[in-house]
Each structure stands twice: as C-alpha cells, then as structure tokens.
Amino acid sequence: MSSLTLLRDPKQRKLMFSAGLSWLFDAMDVGIISFIAAALAVEWKLDGEQIGLLAATNSIGMAVGAAVAGSMADRYGRRAVLLWTLLIFSAASGLSALATSFAFLCVLRFIAGFGLGGELPVASTLVSESVRPDDRGRAVVLLESFWAGGWILAALIAYFVIPAYGWRTAFVIGAFPALYALYLRRAIQDPPNFQRQRVKLPFKQRFASVWSDKYRKSTITLWILWFTVVFSYYGMFLWLPTVMVLKGFTLVKSFQYVLIMTLAQLPGYFTAAYFIERFGRKFVLVVYLLLTAVSTLWFSNADTDGMLIAAGISLSFFNLGAWGGMYAYTPELYPTAIRSTGVGFAASFGRIGGVIGPYLVGVLVAREVAIASIFTIFFVAIVIGALTVLFFARETKGFDPDKDAPVLVPAEGTVR
C-alpha cells in the first residue's frame, strides 16, 4: 500500500490528521520557545546560561511527562491520556504569556513540557497500533511530518508576530490547541488491540517486562538511540535562532533563515516514509543519522549566507527524517500490553539528553567557546547513536511484536 493509498482510506486519513494536528501543536510550542528565547535574551537581558536553563526546564518536564503518560496510557488508554496531555500543555503555554519573571516562566515551561512529553509517545503508539503492520512505519513517519508543520508555523509566528506584537502574544497563540481537544474527544478511539485487553498489567510488572531478558537488549539500544538523538536535536535546534545572532545576523534575519531551514524538514520526512518500508527501519536510522552528523559539522563551520542556509537545510532534512524513523521503530519492539510503557520510558530517558544539550550549549556559549567546537560534541553523539543501531538494533519491518510476545498476565497479589 502506498502513502497515497494509506491517506485515501477515510478511517486512516481521519486518524492521521487528528493525531497529526496534535503533533503539529506540540512542535509549534517547542518551536515558539526557541524563538522567544532569542527575543527574551534581548528584552530581559538573559545570558547564555539562562537561555539554556529555560530550554532545559522544558525538557525536564518532557522527561517526566513521557514516563508518566506512557505508563498511564497502558492502564487507562491512549485516547484519554492524549487528550489530558494536550490540555495540560495548552493551558501552561497560554499562562506563560503572563510570566513576569524568569523563574515564573521556567515553572510554566516545566508544566508545558510535561504535557508535551506525555503526548508525543502516546500519539505515536496510538497510530502505530491502529494501522496494518505493512503500513505502520510509513504511517508514523507521516505523523512525524506534522512536526515540521508545527515548526514552520512557529517560525511564521516568530517572523510576523513577535517583532510586531511581542513574545507574550506568541504564547497566547500556543493556548489555542486546548480547543482542538474538544474535537479529538470524538475523532479518535483506542486501537482495537488495546480495547480487547480486558486485564491491564500493574506498573511494576510492565516496567519489569520492559527490562526482562526478552526485551532488555532492545530497551538498552532504544535508550541510547533516544538519548543521543534528543541530546543533539534540542542542543542544536533550540539554539538555532540564537546561534544565527551569534554569527552576526539580526534577530529578524535569523528568524527568516530558520524558517527556510525548517521547510527542508518536510522532504526529509517524506523520503524517510518512502525508504522505511522499502529498505527497513535500520537503513533509515543509520543513513539519516550519519548524514545528520556530517551536516552538523558543515553548519557549525559555515561562514557565508549561502553556506549557512545550505548546511541548515541539510541538517533539518536528515535530522528530522531520522526522528521519523525513530518514532516508527520504537513502538514496534514491544507488545500491546507494555508498548506505551516501553515507548514512554525510552522517550523519557531521551529527554534527559534534551535537558543536558541546550543547557550545555548555554554554559559553553557563556564561556565564549566556539560554535564549531560545541557542535563537534553533537557530531560525536549522533555517530554513537547511528553505530548503536547498526550493530545492536533488530529490524522490525513487517514484524508483529504481539505474535512473538510471551503471555503477560498480572502476577498474584497485584492490584488490577
């Protein structure tokens, strides 16, 4: 089945766009904070370490949210948790417009991050479980492509709204997704396999199963992959507008260049969606990650307008294609009973990298370390992630983890 045929199926199309729009709003919020950080650095006179702390606070919330929501989705359902996490991050984003101090803004960004971090693994699990095995990789990568749409929207808001109306207005716009949750209540349902599971495992047993002999190697591989990808992505992309300013461009000009780079994410996703069902998950992850690593060095050493844009386009293309492959790959390693827990904790561990990455950049920028030297750290991290997948990951193209899973029933004496 082609991507086009997948989207022609009314049920699949409705699911894709319903979950995809929530994903788009997530990306819009993450993107907006990167642009707002550049504006706040000017208005509030924040130093590099404070900007890094703001981004790190958001990622700490995402780490906690991914673990909590992932676990709750295996117990209470994907749909219910998706709706609540969407409402949480929307409310916190809107309230961020009222922030009068840096500390207050950090608290609100933690709460917004909790909702964001919880929603992403649950949405990818829901889509992965709701389509046929032959289509699920492509479907999840296409879901991830909505992330590019959210970043593009954030870049447009940054370019047209922030200079004219201020960063508080941008945060107010970030509250609009709360209204979308009302539509999602009717638009999506829990996947059939999840609905058929009458008995839900307690948390301790689910977590133990994720680390059992059968899944331990896959879990370790996933945690390393997620950490290296999230560490490098948030370390680089949340700093893009600020890095452009450090390279001598004006704030508005940096927003314009980042918008151009962000547009390159879409073909990155679409090519990954094609290759992932043709050549497999490992091919997409290894190739796109290695080319991301090369693009990282290219971008950090670019010293002309044309070179900077070309390197940024390449970085966006391959990095976000790799993200699509990672989100498609992760749910395929666990059976339905423990899937969301496994995905949530892998994402949560990755978010620790999202805490360290941007904060590390802030510390190094404050100490006047060269951008090229900073980005070399991300180059090494990405290569480690690619090699881990190459040598230790199993291929899951066409694989049904439920057929290969041991029978999981609640242990005696546990609360159901």
Number of structural domains (the chain) is 1
413 assigned to some structural domain: no
Asked if residue 416 is part of any domain, the answer here is no
Query: Do the domain assignments include residue 412?
Result: no
80 domain-assigned = yes
Q: Output the domain CATH number for residue 318.
A: 1.20.1250.20
3-state secondary structure the chain: CCHHHHHHCHHHHHHHHHHHHHHHHHHHHHHHHHHHHHHHHHHCCCCHHHHHHHHHHHHHHHHHHHHHHHHHHHHHCHHHHHHHHHHHHHHHHHHHHHCCCHHHHHHHHHHHHHHHHHHHHHHHHHHHHHCCHHHHHHHHHHHHHHHHHHHHHHHHHHHHCHHHHCHHHHHHHCCCHHHHHHHHHHHCCCCHHHHHCCCCCCHHHHHHHHCCCCCHHHHHHHHHHHHHHHHHHHHHHCCHHHHHHHCCCCHHHHHHHHHHHHHCHHHHHHHHHHHHHHCCHHHHHHHHHHHHHHHHHHHHHCCCHHHHHHHHHHHHHHHHHHHHHHHHHHHHHCCCCCHHHHHHHHHHHHHHHHHHHHHHHHHHHHCCCCHHHHHHHHHHHHHHHHHHHHHHCCCCCCCCCCCCCCCCCCCCCCCC
Query: Does the residue 373 lie in any domain?
Result: yes
Domain assignment present for residue 56? The answer is yes
Report residues of the chain scoring pLDDT below 70: 1-9, 198-199, 241, 247-255, 405-416
With pLDDT > 70 as the criterion, what percentage of the chain qualifies?
91
Give a yes or no: residue 220 inside a domain.
Answer: yes
pLDDT at 254: 65
- Position 416 scores a pLDDT of 38
Asked whether residue 192 is domain-assigned, the answer is: no
Domain that holds residue 247: 12-183+202-392
